[in-house]
Amino acid sequence: MLTQNSPEDPALPARPARGPGRPVGDHEEKRAELLAAATKVIAEHGFAKTSLRKVAERAGYTTGAVTYYFANKGDLVLALAESRFDRFDKLLDSVAPEADIRTLVQRWFEMSVGEPEFSIVMSQLLANLQFDAKLKDTLVRRYADYRARFAEIVREGQRRGTIRDDIPAAVLADQIGAMGDGFAVVTPLELQDFGPERIDEILDGVIRLLAPVGNG
């Protein structure tokens, strides 16, 4: 496990703690650094044991500097949840023009294998929905938007003739999403079983399952 400000952690380079008040530098860059630090703290210590103080220590800031961006832990967690779905939206943006489902599933693997903390944090956030109404509302809203966009991408693939059309697009989108979620849970636990060749085999299988009837 990497220690605070470890030089082996490229996402969080070592830096001296700053004084109280606004951190020096670009606002969005510093905010992103704090969200990256929060991701690591939650992945290592769990949601319940995460605090603004721990996040500040991990990022090399004072707690006061963290509260400049996030008033409290709830505010920080909401921002972290939004940032997770912002990444999902960018992923959908990248595959939407060609309805490229293979690339979509491949990117899921890349996040699961290359960024296991991503899946851990999402699991921690989901586990806390019943205790945080604002977090629940945020995730329900963002996930509904995500599912609707995903279904439209599948629908476009059906119009292009690259995805089977004997199953409703919304149903197929949910099935693909469930596969992606499953990979996100399993691959961090069994990284040795998901090398490049294995991932290619799985991707080929997904595409065959989605191929128009008579073309699989």
* Structural domain containing residue 200: 78-210
Q: Is the pLDDT of residue 13 over 80?
A: no
Higher pLDDT, 14 or 125: 125
Whether residue 106 is found in the same domain as residue 181: yes
Reported as a single tens digit per residue, the pLDDT across 184-200 is: 888 778 878 888 898 89
Indicate if 187 and 129 belong to the same structural domain. Answer: yes
Average pLDDT score over residue span 39-59 = 93
Mean pLDDT of the chain: 85
CATH number at residue 47: 1.10.10.60
Q: Are residues 25 and 93 in the same domain?
A: no
With bands split at pLDDT 50, 70 and 90, how would you rate the model's confidence at 55?
A: very high
- Do residues 152 and 100 both lie within one domain? yes
CATH number of the domain enclosing 202: 1.10.357.10
What's the CA gap between 82 and 17, in Å, rounded? 27
pLDDT number for residue 5: 43
Report the percentage of the chain scoring pLDDT > 70: 88
Count of domains observed in the chain? 2
Same domain, 100 and 197: yes
Instruction: Find the helix packing angle between 52-59 and 27-45, rounded to 10°.
Output: 120
Give the C-alpha distances (Å, rounded to integers) separating 5 from 13, 61, 64, 193, 196: 6, 11, 18, 31, 31
Q: Are both 3 and 90 inside the same structural domain?
A: no
Enter the pTM of the model: 0.78
Using an 8 Å Cβ cutoff, are 118 and 112 in contact? yes
Contact in structure between 80 and 125 (CB atoms under 8 Å) = yes
Q: Collect all residues with Cβ–Cβ distance below 8 Å to 44 and sequence separation of at least 6.
A: 1
Residues 168 and 86 in one domain: yes
46: left (phi over 0), alpha (psi -120 to 50) or beta: left
What pLDDT was estimated at residue 22?
Answer: 54
Residue 94's CB: how many other CB atoms inside 10 A?
13
Residues 95 and 167 in one domain: yes
Q: In the prediction, which pLDDT does 15 show?
A: 46
Whether residue 107 is found in the same domain as residue 203: yes
b/e per residue 43-60 (b: at least 16 CB within 10 A): beeebeebebebbbbbbb
Residue 215 lies in a domain: no
* Same domain? 82 vs 174: yes
What angle is formed at CA 55 by the lines to CA 51 and CA 59, rounded to 5 degrees?
A: 170
Kindly report, residue by residue over 56-113, the tens digit of the pLDDT. Answer: 999 999 999 899 999 999 999 999 999 989 999 999 999 999 999 999 988 888 887 7
User: Do residues 66 and 173 both lie within one domain?
Assistant: no
**Residue 87 and residue 65 share a domain:** no
Report the pLDDT value the prediction gives residue 76, as an integer from 0 to 100. 94
153 or 10, greater pLDDT: 153
Q: Are 58 and 41 in contact (CB under 8 A)?
A: yes
- Domain boundary, last residue among 50, 71, 92: 71
Q: 128-144: per-residue pLDDT in tens?
A: 888 889 999 999 999 99
- The answer to whether residue 1 scores a pLDDT higher than 70 is no
How far is Cα of residue 213 from the mean position of the Cα atoms in its chain? 33
Question: How far apart, in Å, are the Cα atoms of 90 and each of 80, 124, 200?
Answer: 15, 22, 23
